[in-house]
Amino acid sequence: MTRARVPRPHEIAAARRDPRLARAVRERHDNAWRTRGACQATDPETFFPAPLEAADAAVQLCGRCPVSGACLAWALSVGDCHGVWGGTTARERRAMLVAWRTEESAEELQYVAFGPQPELVVSAGQLEPPRRGGANRRVPTQSRAELALVTLGEAERDRDVRPHGVPLLAREHAHAA
């Protein structure tokens, strides 16, 4: 058996913003969820696939389940890291478990500065407004295509003189400073 790795900060940051985890926080006090689950008539082996086997069938079934939030909350509260619970795989739940039990760290914030911001994130088992990260990060002024050209070593286009007699990248860096 292999050891599970510790989730990385970007995985934890994504887990905090996952709508499935937010639903689990809202539904965590539903103790009768097992009787109403869509999994009642399904073979339990579906939810515990062999290593390297896809869990897509179980995740798809959980997507239609009315109690997947309470199911995920239960799995996180007991620390169950095997199988599919609440529409999440064991790997997803490891990151969610850190988000469930800890407060949002400054290290995670650098990974959410430019992404879409949900109304609420999970921090230490509670739903809270998201902290805004990346205040010290400079927003790139170049398009992705321009950045790709430069990183691929095609910087010779930078020698082209643009309006005002200043090379394109030098002008953009002057505006960003």
For tokens 């010290």, the residue is 136
Q: Chain-centre distance of CA 67, in angstroms?
A: 21
Mean pLDDT of the chain: 76
**How far is the first Cα of the chain from the last one, in angstroms, to the nearest whole number?**
52
Residue 61: pLDDT band with limits 50, 70, 90:
very high
The answer to whether the CB of 104 falls within 8 A of the CB of 69 is no
Beta strand pairing call for 121-123 and 126-128 = antiparallel
Q: Take residue 145 and report the two structure tokens written for it.
A: 């295509």
Task: Indicate the pTM of the whole model.
Answer: 0.66
Kindly tell me if the per-residue pLDDT of 68 is higher than 90: yes
Q: Which residues contact 79 (CB under 8 A, 6 or more apart)?
A: 97
Q: Take residue 75 and report the two structure tokens written for it.
A: 């799995």
Nearest in space to 104 (alpha carbons), one of 120, 92, 88: 120
- Of the ranges 15-19, 65-69, 78-82, 144-148, which is most confident? 65-69
Report phi then psi at 66, rounded to 5: -75, -15
Residue 84: pLDDT band with limits 50, 70, 90:
very high
3-state secondary structure of 6: coil
Domain locations along the chain: 9-128, 144-176
Kindly tell me if the per-residue pLDDT of 110 is higher than 80: no
**Could you read off the pLDDT of 141-158 as tens digits, one per residue?**
444 554 444 444 444 444
Nearest in space to 39 (alpha carbons), one of 64, 56, 17: 64
Residue 129: pLDDT band with limits 50, 70, 90:
confident
Kindly tell me if the per-residue pLDDT of 165 is higher than 90: no
**Could you read off the pLDDT of 5-43 as tens digits, one per residue?**
788 888 998 888 889 999 999 998 998 999 999 999 899
Residue 104: pLDDT band with limits 50, 70, 90:
confident
Residue 106's pLDDT is 79
- Of the ranges 32-41, 103-112, 168-177, which is most confident? 32-41
Residue 132: pLDDT band with limits 50, 70, 90:
low
